[in-house]
Amino acid sequence: MRLKKWAFCLSALLVTSSSIVPTGNGYDGSLVGIAAARAENPVPTAEKEDTKEQPITGLTFSVSLAKALGIQPLYPVKASYGDVPRYTAEFGYVEAMVALGILSPGDPIEPHLPITRQDAALLIWRALGDPSVPLSYIPYPDGSAVADYAKTGVAFIAQQGWIPLRAGNFEPQAPLTAAEAEAVAAAIANRRHSQALRAFDIISTRSLDIKKGYPTPLEIPELKEELPFTPVYGTDVPDLGSLSPQGQFVFGDSINKKGTVTVNAGYSAYDVMVNFYGGSSAKKVDTDKSKGTLSSGKSDREHGAKEIPFTYRIVSDKPDQVFQQTESTSYPGPEEGIGAKSDTWTGFYRQEDRDIIVDLGSSQPVSSVSMEFMQDIASAIRFPEYMRSYVSTDGQNWSYLGQARHDIPPSDKTVQTRTLALQFPSVSTRYIKIRFPVDIWTFARRLSVTGGSEPSKPLLLPKEDRAAEALKAPAPAPEPTYLQVPGMNDILLAYTGGHEARGTWTSADFLPMIAHQDQKGSLTGRMFDSILFLPYSTVGSSRDEWQAYLDDLFTPSLQLNALNDALSSMNKVMGTTEKEKVILTIPYPDPKQNSFGSLEQSGPSLSFDVEKLGKEAALKNRLAAVDWFYGQLLSRWEQAHFEHLELAGIYWYAETMDARIPGEKELVQGTARLVRAKEQNFFWIPFHGANGYDDWRSYGFHYAFLQPNYYAEDPKRSDERMMRTADLARQYRMGVELECDDRLLKDPQYYQLFYKQLNRAHELGFDGPTTNVYYAESKTLVTVSRSSDAKIRAIYDDLYKWMIGLYKPSR
């Protein structure tokens, strides 16, 4: 197995709030706030800058916080605040915050008065903090000035770094400015985005047998986030089941033999294949609300909630006049529109996705959306892979409900229809968007929006993000941009666990990697904000070898400890409070290993040998070894108490999904469940042509990067491989990996190839607002940074320019 190559990965996510840099305007501003401010106003005027420094009111901040958290508005008859009347746009968000206990009329927070920094911290803690975790330490010089009621909130914010400091102080009694509120909202939106990506640990489809006539609740995994997202259920059979008053899907007296339920939360989704078998009379099941089981109450649907009339418009993803004319002349649909009860179908022809944007005329409680589709392969009419739905109060800013899917393959030649529907607790909204993909022809009819009871609790939904929503969809459509890891700009791969000095990292090695040093040794700016630690392939696959790798990783003053020391030095010199994000690796459990070692005292040595044990036993042992190592890894990390490091994810070492090994996919999916259970991201870097790269989401990875294998092979290779890799990365929403090694230090061919590769990557847009992951063999860049040869040293300086967006091809 060859060493990793350099990787450049991109996406549309925001930089996390943990990165703090001096802004020179009286306080430390987060990169999120700076980026958001620049995007909003590329050439700021003095007047607008002054506006950003003005205090904001409790009402403005509360509404901004609610939107960042994904809280949907409520409209109770009685207002909680007399000076926030029901007819105002802010009313719904304020009442939703009150319903969740984030706001309280008894608080010292007055809606129309400026909100203090400590009160803003208090609201954020109520939304995202864990009340069971006692917090008291406030690491600010003016911490004693924090009011008693706000101490927990300020201590929580001190951990997160979301409210920018002012000359090193928190200034708890001072008003929060518009610029600071903007930084907070962007940081929290980023946190919620990450939570939405991993709301469920489940990846693969499940099956469930239901006895007909016996109401049965659908058990879903506990949502572990501080502020979980509301479960939304998609179905492909209208009478498959309905929601209880507690918002749980319940199977009832269905006459169907089977159906599919798509369970959604945040951007996560998984399918449950339901099979009904014989039964007689229905059995009443009591509710145990504390366990989240079935309720004896009836859902809005069972109460006969009425359909809501609406107007609508249709938007094509890639509009084409010729295709639009074919639609309108061939299958225009019923005269009354797609919401009619008519048997007439409306045809949609090519032009990729369709959005049907529904206007209810006013804000109303809604509890379900459904539409019927046809499949007739002989006529080039196919079911869409999914139907997604969104809600909006203004028709511009959308929140994602979820998707409904089915189990009918596109090759099924049977002429048939399916009704895709989404059911959810009532949400007050005026606009609803229904989205579905179109291959050649898609036929749809009977679009229905069903009302609900006035909601007493707000739904919690993520913002619309097409890239994130596609992560769990089957056969995702190509995306126009690359992948980006939230909160990571530049990631360096660091090998340890062997090769003596080449695999041993000191603080002096890491310092020029995390901060750019000029030739005089002065630190001039930030470089790699993340380090991926991974073992050499010689580490092996036994318990003792894995233990030795762990011991090496946590060696005092080296490796991880050296990185922590380097950050401490950098922060002191640069006057910052930065943390370095760290990705750690789970070694690969070799299926040829027949004596891994024992996981418990006097226990048997585990074997991974499939030929001797069979698939199930070997898989069980491999997963047990991974579970043991992961537990040891996290335990050592927690015991280390690294002040300047943040664990950002786990990396899967194998670079392909070897289909010849029984249970290989189940092994990775099992590992993904372990990683997700600890709320960590899961990373993968397959080589070019590796098995499984085009289906990486199904293995449970959060992020995957594709290797072009360009630099390592033939210096005379054409650019075709780079372009092909870039196309594949866009198509499958992956990052792209590049490479360099020690050969560029002595071989002119590889020196030129390095710059040829960097220039081509620049042309392909890899150095835009992206995450870049770099491999440089065993500390090649450290050697380059210390070189007295101006030509070699220029490599280091050019990389720094690349990272800050100032690189210009000239070689």
Nearest residue to 96 (alpha-carbon basis) of 575, 545, 456, 378: 456
Nearest residue to 90 (alpha-carbon basis) of 60, 110, 116: 60
Please state, in angstroms and rounded to a whole number, the distance separating the CA atoms of residues 471 and 174: 42
pLDDT: is 219 or 36 the higher one?
219
Phi and psi angles of residue 242, each rounded to the nearest 5 degrees, phi first: -150, 170
| Domain count within the chain | 3
* pLDDT value, residue 651: 97
Give burial (CB, 10 Å; 0-12/13-18/19+) of 286: exposed
Instruction: Tell me what the pLDDT averaged over the chain comes to.
Output: 84
The residues with which 523 forms a beta bridge, in sequence order, are 517
Phi and psi angles of residue 307, each rounded to the nearest 5 degrees, phi first: -75, 145
Boundary residue ending a domain (431, 463, 495): 463
Contact 118, 151 (CB under 8 A): no
**Together in a domain, 70 and 218:** no
Boundary residue ending a domain (164, 197, 230): 197
When mean pLDDT is compared across 83-87, 420-424, 481-485, 783-787, the lowest value belongs to 481-485
When mean pLDDT is compared across 152-161, 469-478, 586-595, 750-759, the lowest value belongs to 469-478
Percentage of the chain exceeding pLDDT 70? 86
Which structure tokens are listed for 601? 């005292």
Boundary residue ending a domain (197, 217, 240): 197
Please state, in angstroms and rounded to a whole number, the distance separating the CA atoms of residues 54 and 181: 11
Contact 443, 379 (CB under 8 A): no
The CA radius of gyration of the chain, in Å to the nearest whole number, is 28
When mean pLDDT is compared across 84-93, 115-124, 318-327, 596-605, the lowest value belongs to 318-327
**Together in a domain, 176 and 260:** no
pLDDT: is 656 or 214 the higher one?
656
**Together in a domain, 575 and 435:** no
Give burial (CB, 10 Å; 0-12/13-18/19+) of 238: middle
Nearest residue to 585 (alpha-carbon basis) of 631, 625, 532: 532
Nearest residue to 314 (alpha-carbon basis) of 438, 227, 231: 438
**Together in a domain, 50 and 152:** yes
- Decide if 356 is inside a domain: yes
When mean pLDDT is compared across 348-362, 569-583, 640-654, 713-727, the lowest value belongs to 713-727
Please state, in angstroms and rounded to a whole number, the distance separating the CA atoms of residues 12 and 696: 19
* pLDDT value, residue 514: 96
* pLDDT value, residue 254: 61
Contact 173, 118 (CB under 8 A): yes
- Decide if 75 is inside a domain: yes
Helix, strand, or coil (residue 262): strand
Provide the angle, in degrees to the nearest 10, between the axes of the packed helices 748-763 and 720-731: 40
Contact 263, 273 (CB under 8 A): no
pLDDT in tens, 787-799: 999 999 999 999 9
Q: Is the pLDDT of residue 326 over 80?
A: yes
Q: What is the dihedral of CA 791, 514, 163, 102, to 10 degrees?
A: 130
pLDDT in tens, 66-99: 999 999 999 998 899 988 988 888 999 999 999 9
The CATH code of the domain that includes 693 is 3.20.20
**Together in a domain, 452 and 530:** no
Please state, in angstroms and rounded to a whole number, the distance separating the CA atoms of residues 48 and 731: 40
Please state, in angstroms and rounded to a whole number, the distance separating the CA atoms of residues 249 and 43: 51
**Together in a domain, 77 and 216:** no
Give burial (CB, 10 Å; 0-12/13-18/19+) of 571: middle
- Decide if 784 is inside a domain: yes
pLDDT in tens, 24-64: 222 222 222 222 332 333 334 444 456 778 999 999 999 99
pLDDT in tens, 734-750: 888 878 899 999 999 99
**Together in a domain, 726 and 749:** yes
Contact 237, 271 (CB under 8 A): no
Within 13 Å of residue 453, how many CA atoms lie on the same side as its CB? Answer: 16
**Together in a domain, 38 and 69:** yes
- Decide if 261 is inside a domain: yes
**Together in a domain, 161 and 226:** no
Nearest residue to 102 (alpha-carbon basis) of 143, 67, 52: 67
> Which residues lie below 8 Å from residue 658, measured CB to CB, with a gap of 6+?
664, 691
Which structure tokens are listed for 660? 């010849």
Helix, strand, or coil (residue 127): helix
Helix, strand, or coil (residue 717): coil
**Together in a domain, 274 and 179:** no
- Decide if 296 is inside a domain: no
- Decide if 761 is inside a domain: yes
- Decide if 52 is inside a domain: yes
Helix, strand, or coil (residue 720): helix
- Decide if 158 is inside a domain: yes
Please state, in angstroms and rounded to a whole number, the distance separating the CA atoms of residues 15 and 488: 7
Please state, in angstroms and rounded to a whole number, the distance separating the CA atoms of residues 64 and 53: 17
Residue 600 binned pLDDT confidence (cut-offs 50, 70, 90):
confident
What is the enclosing helix (H) or strand (E) of 611? helix 610-613
DSSP letter for 354, please: E
Contact 33, 59 (CB under 8 A): no
Q: Is the pLDDT of residue 618 over 50?
A: yes
The CATH code of the domain that includes 320 is 2.60.120.260
* Mean pLDDT (whole number) for 319-334: 88
**Together in a domain, 753 and 614:** yes
* Mean pLDDT (whole number) for 428-449: 95
pLDDT in tens, 682-721: 999 998 778 888 889 889 999 998 888 777 655 555 566 7
Give the range of the structural domain holding residue 344, as residue numbers without chain letter: 206-283+305-463
pLDDT in tens, 351-389: 888 999 999 999 999 999 999 999 998 898 999 999 999
Nearest residue to 348 (alpha-carbon basis) of 434, 477, 475: 434
Residue 760 binned pLDDT confidence (cut-offs 50, 70, 90):
confident
**Together in a domain, 246 and 355:** yes
**Strand arrangement, sheet containing 241-243:** 216-217, 249-251, 241-243
**691, amino acid identity:** N
Contact 419, 372 (CB under 8 A): yes
Sign of CA dihedral 600, 603, 605, 609: negative
Contact 2, 713 (CB under 8 A): no
Q: What is the dihedral of CA 373, 377, 378, 381, to 10 degrees?
A: 40
* pLDDT value, residue 474: 41
Please state, in angstroms and rounded to a whole number, the distance separating the CA atoms of residues 151 and 747: 60
Helix, strand, or coil (residue 380): coil
* Mean pLDDT (whole number) for 536-563: 96
Within 13 Å of residue 507, how many CA atoms lie on the same side as its CB? Answer: 12
